A = this chain, B = another copy of it.
Amino acid sequence: MDPRTRELLAQASTATITTQLLARGLRNTFLAGIGPLNPGNARMVGEAFTLRYIPAREDIDVLEVFRDYDHPQRKAIESVPPGHVLVMDCRNQGRAASAGNILATRLMVRGAAGLVTDGTLRDTPEISRLAMPAFSRGASPMTNLAQHHAVDMQIPIGCAEVAVYPGDIIVGDEEGVVCIPAHLADEIAEPAAAQEELERFILQEIENGRPLKGTYPPDEDTLSRAAHRST
């Protein structure tokens, strides 16, 4: 990702980004139902590193499998490059957790930008105090083996019924997570920043008592005043 793109997207809200994507015909980019464990620490941007789970089977998914350091879940944790976001496909199911605090901590120590699952997390009080943002459908103390089987990584997945391809740009804030197709990230970064600046001006106008008419959306006059202010 272009450093300038990363910088701009790190300041853009998911609300702005989804509008930019909608303007380009993409209506399904928000991971609905997924929220930050810690709303006060939710700003996140990074390339997607994907991990896929399928349903567990009682004869395969026993506690002993964790003794294998090459278990796909552990291998994924040790493979996420710095600045990337681990995105886990748990089929929107969360009776058992996708991961817990020790793995999340290792991920953070390795420099990952964040953690996203369409299932649940365990040890959530601890994870929510980490410096690295984490997003899930909620909490479940149950270890993943009771419902999930980590099977492979770095292939395209669905997460919360949104397509996520490895390398897509994942942005998170207090409202949740949006997935930007890799080829659009640079294209929308500048317009997103401009949209946010304009909307800050519009909001001030509205706070000052202006009606929607002429202000939102802005007419020529409002646009001109907005342009002057920002100079």
Judged by a CB distance under 8 angstroms, whether A100 is at the interface is yes
Judged by a CB distance under 8 angstroms, whether A48 is at the interface is no
Asked whether, in the complex, the Cβ of B162 is within 8 Å of the Cβ of A55, the reply is: yes
Chain B hits for A151, CB < 8 A:
155-156
The distance in angstroms between the C-alpha atoms of A74 and B213, with both chains bound, is 9
A14-B141, A141-B176 known; A163 vs B54 contact (CB < 8 Å): yes
Interface-located stretch among A2-10, A80-88, A90-98, A222-230:
A90-98
Asked whether, in the complex, the Cβ of B174 is within 8 Å of the Cβ of A149, the reply is: no
Chain B hits for A213, CB < 8 A:
69, 78
Question: Shortest distance in angstroms between A117's beta carbon and chain B's nearest beta carbon?
Answer: 15
Judged by a CB distance under 8 angstroms, whether A199 is at the interface is yes
Q: Of B58, B175, B209, which is within 8 A of A27 by CB?
A: B58
Question: Shortest distance in angstroms between A184's beta carbon and chain B's nearest beta carbon?
Answer: 8
Interface size on A, residues (CB 8 A): 86
Asked whether, in the complex, the Cβ of A203 is within 8 Å of the Cβ of B105, the reply is: yes
Q: Which residue on chain B has the smallest CB distance to residue A145?
A: B22
Chain B hits for A66, CB < 8 A:
217
Q: Of B30, B55, B206, which is within 8 A of A106 by CB?
A: B206
The distance in angstroms between the C-alpha atoms of A229 and B175, with both chains bound, is 43
The distance in angstroms between the C-alpha atoms of A125 and B50, with both chains bound, is 29
Asked whether, in the complex, the Cβ of B163 is within 8 Å of the Cβ of A212, the reply is: no
Which residues of A approach B to under 8 Å, CB–CB?
13-15, 17-19, 22-30, 32, 35, 39, 54-60, 63, 66-67, 69, 74, 77-78, 91-95, 97, 100-103, 105-106, 109, 122-125, 138-143, 145-147, 149, 151-152, 155-158, 161-163, 173-176, 178, 181, 199, 202-203, 206-207, 209, 211-214, 216-217
Pairs across A and B, CB under 8 Å, 21 listed = A15-B100, A15-B143, A17-B141, A22-B63, A23-B63, A24-B59, A26-B57, A26-B58, A28-B57, A32-B94, A54-B157, A54-B158, A55-B161, A57-B163, A77-B212, A91-B161, A101-B203, A103-B216, A124-B175, A139-B176, A141-B178
